[in-house]
Structure 1
Amino acid sequence: MMKEVPVTQARADLSNLVNEVVYGHERITLTRHGKALAVLVSPEEAKLLDSIMSSSPDMNHAVQIVDTSGSRDNLELAARYVEPNIESDQL
């Protein structure tokens, strides 16, 4: 499970959070009022996500990155296509 940290706390603790991402191989979700706003990830994970998203323009809004390893020590990522949620008024 990803660690969640309120943005107000992250401001005061950014250096430690960055160390957790870099050295502890954590993903940290920044939240405001309990709602996810952004995620801190390692450069390797960001590069992988960019690679996946650039491989198909249609994937930009429809890709989820899933940790398939079950262990943070042996991180394996996979992409899974997620059908976009299209409201009837958007058609």
Structure 2
Amino acid sequence: MSDTLPIAEARAHFDSLVLRASSARERITLTDHGRPAAVLINPQELAELEDALALAQYQARQAPGTVETVPHDQVRARLGLARRRRT
């Protein structure tokens, strides 16, 4: 379930809105002048959304033809490591 409230109204009920978001896993959208300004969600739900996004980004990078590589010398240079001498 989700609910939408103006910020001014949400101020008066903030403690109960946080409780609803955290325990009932409701999404509470706060609006400012009728436009969405923020969303209260359960921290676990946020973590799940972030994990899903990270997985989708990883899968997109691994798609055929999209793998980016960096030569070893460039990596060492970016890390400020001296070039190895061959012996």
Shorter-chain TM-score bucket reads 0.5 to 0.7
Identity rate, percent: 36
Given the alignment of the two structures, is residue 54 of structure 1 paired with residue 54 of structure 2, yes or no? yes
TM-score using structure 2 length = 0.57
Normalized per residue, which structure has more strand? Answer: 1
Task: Measure, in 1, the Cα distance between the counterparts of 2:15 and 2:47.
Answer: 22
The runs of at least 4 consecutive aligned structure 1 residues that moved more than 4 Å come to: none
Normalized per residue, which structure has more helix? Answer: 2
Task: Measure, in 1, the Cα distance between the counterparts of 2:15 and 2:40.
Answer: 12
Query: Aligned ranges for residues 2-81 of structure 1 at < 5 Å?
Result: 2-55=2-55, 56=57
- Residue identity in the other structure for 1:40: L
TM-score using structure 1 length = 0.54
User: Which structure 1 residue ranges, 5 or more long, are not aligned?
Assistant: 60-91
User: Which structure 2 residue ranges, 5 or more long, are not aligned?
Assistant: 61-87
The structure with the larger Rg is 2
